[in-house]
Every structure is written in structure tokens, then in C-alpha cells.
Amino acid sequence: MSRNRTAVLIAAGALVVGAGVGVGGYAAVSGGATATADTSTATAVAASSSRLGVGEIYRNVNAGVVEIAATSKSAQNESPFPFGDQQPQIQQAQGSGFVYDTNGHVITNYHVVQGSSSLQVTFADGSTYDATVVGTDPSSDLAVLKVDAPSDKLHPLSLGDSGAVAVGDGVVAIGSPYGLEETVTSGIVSALGRTIQSTNGYSIPGTIQTDAAINHGNSGGPLFDLRGRVIGVNSQIESESGGNTGVGFAIPSNTVRSVADQLIAGEQVEHAYLGVSLASPLTGSGAQVASVTSGSPAADAGLKAGDVITAFDGNAVESADDLTSAVSEKSPGDEVTISYTRDGDSHTVQATLGTRPS
């Protein structure tokens, strides 16, 4: 992020035995994002060609929205007594998701299923089935599950083009905040191109900001446009209290489609990597380098802390978010030109982008 703010993951933690699952924010680090793929979801619930009311959208798509319960076992209790009862602590996180295809693939956030030992998916009719993790991409905070459910339970949702979304567009969110399944809220797209942080500390650029109410448990649930198409996956809120303040962030559907298709194909999602942490300069435009990772493409190119990057591959860089987004659009191995200033002097260097470390 280019500004200081409190971003909170919105998977809810419910205590079963031992400590509950917490929430937190992550420091801003530049570089990397989703590789692209040409495949798309084969089947989907038909989206309307005209704008619908919130109730109509809910009735059309609710069968494809699911609740996810992720159970994990922590290390054994550290008893102060040598013969204490050494029982593992069992924790449960609850989130949301949606059906991606008729093969039983379900999309959710990585932080919903992170560290889980078992998963259950509950459909709108109340039926519950076991699920397994097909693949995860922590850098985009996305995961694909496979649910063991009969075909008549699978109602895939249609993905829209997040690149066509505009500020002011109406949106609808459906999920299970605080375990209240099948909850629908509505609002607008309040901003585009926001950068949030994944659980591994890397940036997720291009996210959709919305004022539709989302809270703990909405994580992984779909954000719809007014034609009933999924345009994002709800992931974080900005909040000092941990509750909804009208500022939420969704992973854009074009990123979701790309990552999901690669994970379903058994591929590892690779992200371009420059190797710098960034801040916006105190004065003027550009992206100021806060630190450079040793052995990274940025280090090999001679970049140092304090440099202000002003252009990337021929395009002006106005902010840290600009550079993060520009790197995200590249692929590992791409050669790029970087212009920067140091001590008032301008410089231009070549760099070969690497693959973001896992």
C-alpha cells in the first residue's frame, strides 16, 4: 500500500478448543502478481444482459454461493506439568466461496483455508460436503477447492470482466459474515486500482474497493455486478475496530479466472518479481525504494534504498501503486527499462524480472 492504513483479513475464527484464529494486516512490499491464462470457466449460471435488482440477483445466484468451514490442529498444549494432558488444539475458521464449474471446483481466499487439516462446504440448501484443496496462490490470496458433492448441488457462477468495472457501478456481496449464511449486502464500486497485501507480504494490485458491507466470514465470497456476474472475491476490509467501516477490497475477477484456471490445470502460478519494498516520496511523484532484497533483479540492476523510480518500461510511474501494478502485468524473465533519480541525478538501467519467491 502506498498509504498507511489498517487492512484486515475477513475470515472469522471460532474457538473450538484452544485459541481462535486471529486477523491482521501485512506490510507493503512491491512486485509481482498474477500470470495470465486464456482458459475460462466452462459452465456458469446465466448472467442477465440487463441490470437487475438486488433481490433478483440474490435469487439467481445464491445457489452458487457456499459457506466454508476450515478446521486445523495446532501443536500440542504446552502444559507446565510433566504429565499434563497433551491434547492438540483444534481451531476452526469460517469463510465464504462460490462454485466455479460443474466439476466441483470452489473459489475462496487462501487465508480462509491456510493451515487447514479438513474442510467442509455448505450449500444454500443446508447440505454439507467434505472438500479438499486443489491448489493455492498465497500471493493473490486465492485458493481452489474440490467439493465432493453431487452434480445437482453444483451451480457455477458466471465471471464478469473486472477490467470493465467503473467507479460508481452498483455491486452486491453475498456470503456468511459472522456465520450468518446467505447474507446479501449492496453498495457501489467506490474506487479501483487499490493495492492490498497478501498473507505472504507481497502486494495484490488492482483490487476493487467497495462500500458494500462485508465483515468477518465474508472472505472468499463473491462480489457481483448488477447483471449477476462475479467481478471480485471479497478479501479484506480497512478497519481499526475489525468491523465494517464501508471500505472493503475484492480481488478482481480477471485475476481470479487466471489463477483458478492455472491451479485447476495443476500449474504453479508464477509472479514477476523486482525485489524492492516501496513508499511514495514525500514530495513529487514516483515510487521511492525503501529497501532492496539482496540478490534480486533490483539489486542486480544497481537500485538502492532512497532511489525514486519515475518510469518503468517506458511508462511514467506516479506512485508506489503504479509500479506495483506495472510489475504485476509482466512475466518472469521479461526485460524491462527502469528510470530513477538518485541525489538529484537521473539514471536508466535494464533489469530482468525474476520469479517471486514462495
Would you call 111 a catalytic residue per the annotation? yes
Catalytically annotated residue among 137, 141, 211, 261: 141
Per-position DSSP letters for 212-281, written without gaps between them = S---TT-TT-EEEETTS-EEEEEEEEE-SSSS--S-EEEEEHHHHHHHHHHHHTTPPP--EE--EEEE--
Of the candidates 221, 218, 225, 280, the one whose C-alpha atom is nearest the C-alpha of residue 5 is: 280
Would you call 105 a catalytic residue per the annotation? no
Q: What are the phi and psi torsion angles at 295 (to 5°)?
A: 80, 5
Contact (CB, 8 A) for 148 and 185:
no
Contact (CB, 8 A) for 169 and 188:
yes
Catalytically annotated residue among 72, 96, 101, 111: 111
Catalytically annotated residue among 219, 253, 277, 328: 219
Of the candidates 317, 160, 314, the one whose C-alpha atom is nearest the C-alpha of residue 231 is: 160
Would you call 30 a catalytic residue per the annotation? no
Q: Which residues contact 283 (CB under 8 A, 6 or more apart)?
A: none
Contact (CB, 8 A) for 118 and 130:
yes
**Inter-CA distances, 197 with 24, 205, 211, 352, Å:** 11, 8, 19, 24
Q: Which residues contact 84 (CB under 8 A, 6 or more apart)?
A: 77
Residues annotated as catalytic (active site), given as ranges? 111, 141, 219
